Amino acid sequence: MTVSTHQVGATCPSCGRFVGPLEKCPYCGADIKKRLPLRYLKLACLLFAILGVALLVFAASGAATPTTKIGAIGATMNYAYVRLEGTVTRGPLYDPDAPALRFYLADDTGEIQVGAFRDVTQALVAAGKIPTAGDHVIVEGTLRVRDDFTSFNLASADKVQIVPPTASEITIGAVGYDDELHYVVVRGAVREIRQPYQGLTLITLGDASGELDVAVSGDIEKLYGAVSPFELGDAVTVQGIVTYFRDSPQLVLRHPNDFKKLAVDNTAAAMVRIGEIDAARVNQRVQVSAQVTRVSKFSQGMRATLADDSGEITLVLWQDVYDQIPNASALKKGAQVQVLGKVSQYRGEFEIVPQRAGDVRISAAVAQNSETPQPGTTAPSSSAEPTNTPRPTREPTDAPVTRTIGSLTQTDKDAVVVVTGAITRASSFSQGMRYTLDDGTGKITLLIWKDVLEKLGFRDELQQGAQVRVTGKVDVFNDTLEVIPAHASDVELIAAAPVQTVEVRGIGSLSTDDLDKVVSVRGTIAEISDFSKGKYVTLQDDTGKIQITVFNDILESIQDKLAIGATATARGKVNLFRGKMEIVAEGFVIE
């Protein structure tokens, strides 16, 4: 059997006859075209593949990573590469041994901790690209989403863009809530230096408008070095970011060079004659030098009448200030006193109120020549005046009138009224407690001084929901109405706060069906972390764990007992924050 073999491409594509290597068919005259060699096809495929990869690389390098909102980060985004944009609210926190650098970034949806480690940290420090409180930054990196914490790790130093803030000059007394996270410049004199703990120095500055703490972090000094030497009384200018600590503003120093000593005299307050003090100086700080003409004691401290050749003014010394004056016993009639303090007005009379003992300098009383008694008069007693004069008798006032809170206005200042309402909020301060009262027609601040509060047998029952009746004087502070009881008997507890009957739930039983519901959970404190308005406390029981958001007004009453390992019960509304359930505490009890 004969098998014929034909070479590929050796037949005529027109007539199909064998033509061999001929380029033209001898039978039909058709031209014979050779097929493209296979190696050419392989080479073309390779070239197209290389070109395609190059185009993909070019397209990828030119496309920006989309920006992700912090509040949109969820559990499915663990290890996702994202871009974040926002403002640095805290930091930097620097560990040169690791090395590691952390700061907190916030946008309009939430806040997240950003970290850089090892080579990335070294590159940031070497390049001077240190995100600091107040900076607007754009960062790229990887998310780490855990059950109880979400963080962000920087990809590299070149993935950090920083836009520093612009500073504006302001007086110390003008710093308010609207300035939070703003970059400001203040001038004043160094009034006090203290170190609450290792790694934080607080420098109190004062000008004619008020006082303000400047916070110098140890992390800033690790990165840039120490602040230039200065002393108490030095006039300085400081640039910093306004933050709040326990409802009080402070400046956070961004760089040691932002704290500069001025070659001028102490600018804490101007020395004025008493007769120059008028309503325009209320809430300003001044210095006066005068003679004591009268001294009296009141429930919160001491009062003294000061006089110079232009007029008189009342010096008010709160008890904590008076107790720290080294020669307080020298405050007697005839003593010469130099005082730096804030001007206030009480019942139409001006007062000067120093904030610390160092603001009061007392010289010994000038010897008084005894006067010769006139006929028909009694010679003055030679016995010494008592140190603590009884509280002066006030002018008689009209009987207190029962008023609704909504009917009170600033024109009722100094009126004695009776108001009844429910406590909706409570917060402490150095001299006592503030409560918000609501009677349905309006709200007013109930201010109870410490000495009055200590005499209240039911002070622990003054909680949210309690009903009280108060007799007190109406005052105005920062355009807010206050009612101030003079005695413990002026505060009456009508009804205790209602007992909450919310059933204690297992943490693991909570679900999205419980959103916006008030629940109660009990567990062990597993973790505590700070945020600008309070603390995040993680509670854990046998069924799971959950984050409790505890704001400062609740935190103040449990601060001393708050510790990891303690058993606590939290009551509050279930909320969804950054894709995770939390409880916003309305009550928090540590056992």
Residue the block writes with tokens 């612009």: 166
Residue 283: which pLDDT band, with cuts at 50, 70 and 90?
Answer: confident
Looking at domain 401-495, what is its CATH homologous superfamily? Answer: Nucleic acid-binding proteins (2.40.50.140)
Question: What pLDDT is recorded for position 154?
Answer: 94
Q: For the structural domain made of 70-163, what CATH number should be given?
A: 2.40.50.140
pTM of the complete model: 0.49
| Nearest alpha-carbon partner for 262 in 197, 325, 185, 327 | 185
Q: What are phi and psi of 42, to 5 degrees?
A: -65, -40
The overall average pLDDT reported for the chain is: 83
Pairwise CA distance, residues 235 & 318, whole Å = 27
Domain at 168-261, CATH from 2.40.50.140, 3.40.190.10, 3.40.50.620, 2.60.120.10 = 2.40.50.140
Those residues whose C-beta lies under 8 Å from the C-beta of residue 86, and which sit 6 or more positions away, are 70, 105, 106, 107, 136, 137
- pLDDT given at position 257: 92
Q: Which residues contact 291 (CB under 8 A, 6 or more apart)?
A: 306, 307, 308, 334, 335, 336, 337, 366
Considering only CA atoms, which of 364, 327, 322, 328 is closest in space to residue 341?
322
Task: Name, in order, each residue with C-beta under 8 angstroms of 458's C-beta and a sequence gap of 6 or more.
Answer: 493
Contact (Cβ atoms closer than 8 angstroms) between residue 465 and residue 431: no
Sign, Cα dihedral of 371, 288, 447, 328 = negative
Closest C-alpha to 229, from 197, 189, 256, 194: 256
Dist. CA 88–CA 129, nearest whole Å: 13
85: pLDDT confidence band, cut at 50, 70 and 90? very high
pLDDT tens digits, 159-194:
999 999 998 888 888 888 888 889 999 988 888 888
CATH architecture for the domain at 504-590: Beta Barrel (2.40)
Residue 486 pLDDT level (bands cut at 50, 70, 90)? confident
Nearest to 331 by CA among 316, 346, 345: 316
Residue 357 has pLDDT above 90, yes or no: no
What number of other Cβ atoms are within 10 A of residue 148's Cβ? 14
For residues 296-310, give the mean pLDDT: 87
| Boundaries of every domain in the chain | 19-63, 70-163, 168-261, 270-363, 401-495, 504-590
The answer on pLDDT for 394 being more than 60 is no
Contact by Cβ (8 Å): 512, 478: no
Token pair 């500073």 is found at 167
Find residue 580's DSSP bridge partners.
577
Confidence (pLDDT) at 36: 62
* Of the candidate ranges 155-159, 164-168, 308-312, 572-576, the one whose mean pLDDT is the lowest: 572-576
pLDDT at 137 over 90: yes
Residue 436: strand, helix, or coil: strand
113/558 Cα distance (integer angstroms):
26
Residues 6 or more apart from 242 whose CB is under 8 A from it? 175, 179, 180, 181, 182, 184, 249, 250, 251, 252
Residue 442, both tokens: 């309006």
172: nearest Cα among 210, 223, 130: 210
Fold of 270-363: OB fold (Dihydrolipoamide Acetyltransferase, E2P) (2.40.50)
Element containing residue 340 per DSSP (H, E): strand 336-346
| 270-363 shares its CATH topology with 401-495 | yes
User: What was the pLDDT predicted at 161?
Assistant: 93
Q: Is 131 exposed, middle or buried (0-12, 13-18, 19+ CB in 10 A)?
A: buried
SS3 state of residue 578: coil
